[in-house]
Structure 1
Amino acid sequence: MKKAYFIYLHIGYWLILWLKEFLFGFQTYNLNDLSFATIVSTLSVKLIVLFFPVCIFYANFLVLVPKLVRTKKIILYIAVLFILFSLLAPIHKYVYATLLPLKFGWYSYVYIDKLNFWLSFQTLLFENYVYIFFSIAISYVGEYFETQKKQQELEKEQAITELAYLKSQINPHFLFNTLNDIYSLTYQKAEMAPEAVLKLSELLRYMLKESNDRFASVEREINYLKNVVELFEIGQKGSAYIDLEINGNYKNRKIAPLILINFIENAFKHGIVNDPNNPVRIKLYINESDFDFEVFNKKNKDYKDKTGGIGLTNVQRRLALIYPDRHKLEIIDENDTFTVHLNIENI
């Protein structure tokens, strides 16, 4: 709860209580006898009377509960509360036995002539004990919501930090493989090497510009994926067979940047890419309510990655952080084929 809102809430409560007491006081008057002086006098009396519940409530709420009740110093709390009422009792006696009767002609108690320290003490306790329990309850409720807010902020910060860490793993992992391909082209002095460098610069520009944002346009993400595919085909010197199919209206749609590259890279890295009868198939369909993405490849059983892949694990974690309860990821790992199907709702 924002501090300003919290203050306004407190002020509003006491204003309502003051007006309620003010209106209740008029029940004893004949409306025909009311005057401006009477209204001002009644308002003043009710404001003075409000001093005691306000003092008891905030002394308890701001000092005693945080310092003593929450720290389990109950005996000390009761003792300090007794001292507080003892300090207020003489003020109560003066207000009700002297100030209000003489200044405003206001008599609140039939036993006013018998009002003394202990009677004032008992009256204060009887009339304001509800504010003691009320302030304790409000204090604990406020603490609960404050704890929940801090927990949510902490989880948000942890999620942001984790996303940044995961992205830092994704980009170098992809760049390492791409640079290996470009190195091979330049080593062989292939004519496609300059074009490959240009494609890589476009990819880096997208990574640097978009990856720091939580979401990017689907159109730019698709262009990025197309560049990845073209760069891979350049590295394979035309021997790669990849079917890329994109359908649907993706204008003005948003998606987490670099969320799909790992699936495609995984197919290129672990799949058979040079079989025209079993090409790597990449399908992407966008409709009004969701986003559907699928990657299929035949397994390359001759390739063994001794380091173990971290790409799929990272992207699964990113999806869980960015699209909780809004995505479905299905990975079908069969003997000869590997298929990834991802559906994201309401992108």
Structure 2
Amino acid sequence: MKQKNIVLLHVLVWLLLVLNDVIPHFIGNEYAAFKAMPKDAALLLKYTLISIGFYSVAALCFYGSCLLVAPLLFLHKKYVKALLIAVLMLAVLSGWRYAVEFGFFKPVLGFDNYKGNHVSAQYYIGNVFWYYYPKYFVYGLMYFFGENWLQGRNREQALQKEKLVTELAFLRSQVNPHFLFNTINDIYALTYQKSERAPEALLKLSELLRYMLRESTDDFMPLQSEIDYLHNLIELQRIGAKGNAFINFEVEGYVGLQKVASLLFVAFVENAFKHGVLNNVSTPVNIRLLATNDHIDFTVSNKINNSQKDKLGGIGLNNVKRRLELLYPGKYKLAVTANDHYIAHLQLQLNP
């Protein structure tokens, strides 16, 4: 909460306390000094000023406890100093209340809280202590403790959020170079052979890089943009394989305004390209995306190419698993099986 809003909240609370004190006293006209006065604006003003005077002592007690004593107790552990300040506050509060009652209430408003009786200093200080300290002094300590705990929690949450944002940005920036290097080599080969498809392949690669470097800076992107990215990725693979890549990509259901984590599906597809059999028409790579308004079912299946090993390894699947944990906690199911075929099945509940 902003500091300005906190100040306004405090003012409102004290105003409500004053009104809660003034209204019943005014309606009942409880003070004997005012019994003969009519219930008009002048009488209401007198009751209001008296209530403000008494609550000014309460406010000094509350904020003295909160701002002076509580930090020494809870933060700095200086108990003796806190006790000395609490005692000094008692003297100040007693002096302030005396000034309010005998310097303003009695001579200006004609209100004598003690009906002419003599008030000793010992009685006065004791009265202030037993009336204000059990309530407003303790309230000040409780308020400081609660506010300090809440601020600490907010700081911890802010740091945690910042950490997650940093981690997500790092994960999003991790582009697996395997596919990129292979694609550049394929385009170089097409260019060397003066293939008519070289410019098309270069354009597809440019579109992929543009999406990764610009559009995917957000955590979430339109589902349709992710689908378009996969289409370009698959088409680029087909071009590089010179027509010998058999890949089926099916999109079913409703694709509208849904948003999904950017570059979430690409790791599964690239994994199929890296480790799968692409050149056998009888065992194509099958990619299926079923979408509803709030759910996505994504499956990638490929026959495992046992003769093709990626010695460099990869970070793709580990990357996407971590991003799922951060962006869809408790809202996803990922099942991976590897026998003769490698199958990755992701069920995703979309964020509202």
Q: TM-score, normalised by structure 1?
A: 0.93
Which of 251, 272, 282 is residue 267 of structure 1 equivalent to? Answer: 272
Structure 1 range deviating more: 25-34 or 84-93: 25-34
Aligned to 2:149: 144
Aligned to 2:18: 18
Aligned to 1:299: 304
Q: Following the alignment from structure 1 to structure 2, what is the Cα–Cα distance between the partners of residues 61 and 173?
A: 61
Deviation at 1:174, TM superposition (A): 4.0
Distance 1:134-1:202 versus aligned 2 partners, 3 A rule: same
Residues 258 and 294, structure 2, Cα contact 8 Å, conserved in 1: no
Residues 74 and 145, structure 2, Cα contact 8 Å, conserved in 1: no
Structure 1 range deviating more: 97-106 or 317-326: 97-106
Q: What do the CA deviations read for 1:85-112 (whole angstroms, capped 9, x no partner)? A: 11222232233344312221212235x6
Q: What do the CA deviations read for 1:31-72 (whole angstroms, capped 9, x no partner)? A: 983232211111111111211111111122123212443221
Structure 1 range deviating more: 170-179 or 215-224: 170-179
Deviation at 1:173, TM superposition (A): 5.0
Structure 1 range deviating more: 27-36 or 271-280: 27-36
* 1:117 matched to 2:158: no
Amino acid at match of 1:339: I
Residues 93 and 117, structure 1, Cα contact 8 Å, conserved in 2: no
Residues 290 and 344, structure 1, Cα contact 8 Å, conserved in 2: yes
Deviation at 1:114, TM superposition (A): 2.8
Residues 97 and 115, structure 1, Cα contact 8 Å, conserved in 2: no
Distance 1:217-1:275 versus aligned 2 partners, 3 A rule: same
Q: Secondary structure at the match of 1:306?
A: coil
Aligned to 1:211: 216
Q: Following the alignment from structure 1 to structure 2, what is the Cα–Cα distance between the partners of residues 58 and 193?
A: 75
Aligned to 1:319: 324
Amino acid at match of 2:148: E
Residues 92 and 120, structure 1, Cα contact 8 Å, conserved in 2: no
Which of 60, 72, 80 is residue 77 of structure 2 equivalent to? Answer: 72
Deviation at 1:142, TM superposition (A): 1.2
Q: Equivalent residues in 2 for 1:86-105 (5 A)? A: 86-105=91-110
Deviation at 1:200, TM superposition (A): 0.7
Deviation at 1:285, TM superposition (A): 0.7
Which of 306, 324, 333 is residue 328 of structure 1 equivalent to? Answer: 333
Where does the alignment leave 5 or more consecutive residues of structure 1 unmatched?
none
Q: Secondary structure at the match of 2:163?
A: helix
Q: Secondary structure at the match of 1:114?
A: coil
Q: Secondary structure at the match of 2:117?
A: helix
Aligned to 2:226: 221
Amino acid at match of 1:25: H
Q: Following the alignment from structure 1 to structure 2, what is the Cα–Cα distance between the partners of residues 116 and 181?
A: 100
Residues 219 and 251, structure 1, Cα contact 8 Å, conserved in 2: yes
Amino acid at match of 1:342: L
Q: Following the alignment from structure 1 to structure 2, what is the Cα–Cα distance between the partners of residues 174 and 257?
A: 18
Structure 1 range deviating more: 157-166 or 113-122: 113-122
Residues 281 and 295, structure 1, Cα contact 8 Å, conserved in 2: yes
Q: What is the identity percentage for the equivalent residue pairs of Structure 1 and Structure 2? A: 38
Q: Following the alignment from structure 1 to structure 2, what is the Cα–Cα distance between the partners of residues 244 and 56?
A: 72
Q: What do the CA deviations read for 1:163-220 (whole angstroms, capped 9, x no partner)? A: 1111211264542332232233334443322211011111122223311122211112
* 1:185 matched to 2:172: no
Deviation at 1:249, TM superposition (A): 1.7
* 1:59 matched to 2:64: yes
Residues 72 and 79, structure 2, Cα contact 8 Å, conserved in 1: no
Aligned to 2:6: 6
Aligned to 1:344: 348
Residues 60 and 136, structure 1, Cα contact 8 Å, conserved in 2: yes
Where does the alignment leave 5 or more consecutive residues of structure 2 unmatched?
none
Amino acid at match of 2:297: D
Amino acid at match of 2:54: V
Q: Following the alignment from structure 1 to structure 2, what is the Cα–Cα distance between the partners of residues 176 and 107?
A: 92
Q: Following the alignment from structure 1 to structure 2, what is the Cα–Cα distance between the partners of residues 31 and 207?
A: 83
